[in-house]
Amino acid sequence: MAEIGQKTLLDSGWLAARSTDVQLTGTQLTTTYPPTSPTSPWMEAVVPGTVLATLVENKVVGDPFYGLENETILDIADSGREYYTFWFFTKFQCKLSGAQHLDLNFRAINYSAEVYLNGHKRVLPKGMFRRHSLEVTDILNPDGSNLLAVLVHPPDHPGSIPPVGGQGGDHEIGKDVATQYVEGWDWIAPVRDRNTGIWDEVSISVTGPVKIIDPHLVSSFFDRYTRVYLHATTELENRSSWVAECSLNIQVTTELEGSVSLMEHLKTQHVSIPPRARIQYTFPQLFFYKPNLWWPNGMGKQSLYNVSITVDVKGHGESDSWGQLFGFRKIESHIDSATGGRLFKVNGQPIFIRGGNWILSDCLLRLSKERYKTDIKFHADMNLNMIRCWGGGLAERPEFYHYCDVYGLLVWQEFWITGDVDGRGVPVSNPNGPLDHDLFMLCAKDTVKLLRNHPSLALWVGGNEQVPPADINTALKNDLKLHPFFESQSENITSVEGLSTAYKDPSQYLDGTRVYIQGSMWDGFANGKGGFTDGPYEIQNPEDPFKDNFYKYGFNPEVGSVGIPVAATIRATMPREGWQIPLFKKLPNGYTEEVPNPIWQYHKYLPYSKPGKVHDQIELYGTPEDLDDFCLKAQLVNYIQYRALLEGWTSRMWSKYTGVLIWKTQNPWTGLRGQFYDHLLDQTAGFFGCRCAAEPIHVQLNLATYFIEVVNTTAEELSNVAIEASVWDLEGACPYYKVFDKLSLPPKKVVSISEMKYPKSKNPKPVFFLLLKLYHVSNYSIVSRNFYWLHVSGGDYKLLEPYRNKRIPLKITSKTFIKGSSYEVEMKVLNKSKKPDPKTLTYKNNFAVRNDDSDFDMTSLKPIPDTRTDLKQPTGLFQRLYRQFSRESDGLRVAEINGSDGGVAFFLNFSVHGAKLEHEEGEDSRILPVHYSDNYFSLVPGEEMSIKISFKVPPGVSPRVTLRGWNYHHGVHTVL
């Protein structure tokens, strides 16, 4: 028998077939003639997913992510909508008893569907971003075996792709409430089925006579966050024909350690619900004294409480239950008078936004918790604190938001409006948005209800580079207006009782807790007035972001650059003709034009030169010889580009800027531009340049002024610290060394320390390295470390080419902890070159422990193989992880690289592979994804670095860790 409150996912065992190939009706499919196996025309289906995902999985069409195979797939504009209209079929077991009821739930379908269950038909109306819940109690088969068929129709206006491509094709897709990127953009090719399919989870859920629907949780704060109230409102539906006498319970617990929880609150209320009625019930508010607050990444802990609501019906016991992880936090924002940018506050503390733009994780909508976890943790690893869900993509899923809650990423969520598809472009698109405005608002309200309880959700935005049509915009402003608790004058309210009784409880609002902004370039973003003032999106001179004229406005929602992945990704995603690197065409004006091969051009390659503005940044290292050489040099540029972008913005924190969002962090396709990691989940060096620049406390070199600066984005003053600055040449000598001590760094400030005297001194080396370390004087523990490779003004990096032949001795020590398929590896790398005088003070690189309980700064941790749990000592997530790892590998493994040269071990990077050392050409041996505490790092003579690496291995695979570098071409392999 089914269990009350149980949700069962229907995510396996699906079959699919093109509707024109099936000569049976939905009634026949779910009664007398069900398909029994994946025999033609039926095939195994990807659910959740799309029609195209199913066709790719079954190799009916080519892989649109590989080479030019997307061009071989029939576009819906040429095939007609019927070609991508598909049946999906599955079976499920469910047998009810007594007063039990069953709902069949579709969390999203694109674009409309007919549902048949055991011969009975239900119609799911249009709209990609709405939930459908069908009560099917009366049409279940008595024996518990049920047949389900769903006929899914594509969007009504799939549009066509003009020969020149463009942003959103011919823009017809904008007439529907659906994703708008699917006709192609400057970062993706067209998606042939326009994302048709059952693209989000399908489930069945069992209740008793009364069902809980869309509870809303809100917290309000008084007396400087010492007094906090939890407000909760829920809808309750009585499905019976009699008055339901209910006990309604709300419970709040917090996890102490492992499976041990502390009960914070338990309150029971009596509610009577008339027959067949749906009511709204608001709980009496729950009081908390100094609860643990939820903070964004880099500001503190992401404290989460488990809130559960249950309803018991007299005579029937428990009828339904609902649960949510909830964070106590207050997010505010206003237009800053000093900068004109929108300034965000979390729990009263201003937060300097350094984040990224996000489309979606996979353009075939093969969405999974595992991938979401990796995606969001990658953003936390990069020290980012906000993700913008761009309006041409998705209203992201609860699993995405769950991991943003866990890892502390604030989310800017846009609705489905983009300027390119809603009012401009060639041809000019429909200025009035989707044809059905009521449908848009229905989807918008349902999306708000789906996502509003997540603490990470920071703001709603009407659209990308466009305001929604006037009636939609007005409706959104009204529906999402702030409750007085969350307006700027709320500081004057001293208690809940002090608020006028004319105001509703805040949990009775649709939202009311976070601001609505009408568009991504309005009201404190870009120029604030909708002018086209985001960007640029191309290669930059590294010093330019530090200059006053680089960007005029206080908050840039989109600025981007290059993003070619490593050579292994090119080989894994393209045939041999795609391994050809761009031609470097010399122009009369002295600049270089890159001419990419057709496959790179199709995958939206963005050049590393901007003739007339930026000299080719790869060519600064010498003309690349082959794919490996090109991609390695590109990683050097990626690192510099994104570090400079973020450091340039951070250098003007609060004086000129309140935030910046990089366009973009990743690609939902195998694109070759604007990304910190590729679609295979391998990081570019830009990932680690970003990670460095976005540290909460960061030492940096202003590339425009050559002043050393320290950025403290935290709320705490940092005292008794010092900066060690050392310059290293290509011979391993240290021509400049200076310590700036007795420093105090005030909170939320950028402090200019001193101008670098090198290379203004006599006879500077044409290429040199600069190492900056901010450390505590008391114990030499490192707070921030930053390594630069630099050339004199007007120079280049070509002297690094012969430096590749240096044989610099290294010692690599590894220690491994294993639990099942999960590996945690600590790699210590020592540059054994003799240290010249003066000796550096901090060569061991013992990193200071971060106090925000973040789990991505693994350099601060020591492995703990002990499996015991000590509840008296609260520990961070990774410390708990280490305690769970039951098997420690046999001792330390040591590898050494002998060499007689001295100097910097330059641009070292780890990767993880299957243990087979020899692979066929083009074969991808990498194990992905992998989380690194740092990568693409360099070590000066005598310096040691500890790198933590975590990953999971596929069944039957033995992993090996490989270390390569600028002057370590063949790599050092450590089998674990």
Query: Would you list the DSSP string of 416-432?
Result: S-BTTTTT-TTTT--TT
CA dist., res. 530 & res. 231, Å (int): 36
Cβ–Cβ under 8 Å, residues 217 and 232: yes
Quickly count helices (H) and strands (E) in the chain.
13, 47
Q: Which residues neighbour 301 within 8 Å (Cβ) at sequence distance 6 or greater? A: 292, 293, 294, 295, 852, 853
Q: Which residues neighbour 654 within 8 Å (Cβ) at sequence distance 6 or greater? A: 336, 338, 339, 350, 352, 748, 749, 750
CA dist., res. 335 & res. 91, Å (int): 54
Give the angle subtended at the CA of 611 by the CAs of 607 and 616, to the nearest 5°: 55
CA dist., res. 716 & res. 914, Å (int): 45
Phi, psi (5° rounding) for residue 447? -65, -40
Tokens, residue 51: 């029609």
Distances (CA, A) of 460 to 272, 351, 470, 477: 36, 18, 17, 10
3-state secondary structure of 700: strand
**Of 302, 320, 327, 319, nearest in space to 252 by CA:** 327
Residue of 332, 465, 538, 647 marked active site: 465
**Of 104, 269, 79, nearest in space to 198 by CA:** 104
Residue of 183, 399, 558, 826 marked active site: 558
CA dist., res. 920 & res. 388, Å (int): 40
Q: Which residues neighbour 794 within 8 Å (Cβ) at sequence distance 6 or greater? A: none
3-state secondary structure of 69: helix
465 is catalytic: yes
Q: How many CB atoms lie within 10 A of CB 474?
A: 12
Cβ–Cβ under 8 Å, residues 933 and 856: yes
Q: 447's torsion region: left (phi>0), alpha (psi -120 to 50) or beta?
A: alpha
264 is catalytic: no
Surface-to-core class of residue 862, CB atoms within 10 Å of its CB (0-12 exposed, 13-18 middle, 19+ buried): exposed
Distances (CA, A) of 198 to 40, 349, 394, 669, 768: 21, 42, 14, 20, 56
**Of 313, 305, 275, 263, nearest in space to 4 by CA:** 313
Per-residue exposure over 53-76, b if at least 16 CB sit within 10 Å of its own CB, e if not = bbbbbeeebbbbbbbbebeebebb
Cβ–Cβ under 8 Å, residues 209 and 99: yes
CA dist., res. 940 & res. 835, Å (int): 8
Cβ–Cβ under 8 Å, residues 144 and 96: no
Cβ–Cβ under 8 Å, residues 388 and 357: yes
CA dist., res. 327 & res. 325, Å (int): 7
766-769-770-773 Cα dihedral, nearest 10 degrees: -170
Helix (H), strand (E) at residue 589 = none
CA dist., res. 301 & res. 401, Å (int): 17
Phi, psi (5° rounding) for residue 69? -65, -25
CA dist., res. 873 & res. 685, Å (int): 37
3-state secondary structure of 72: helix
Please give the positions annotated as active site. Answer: 465, 558
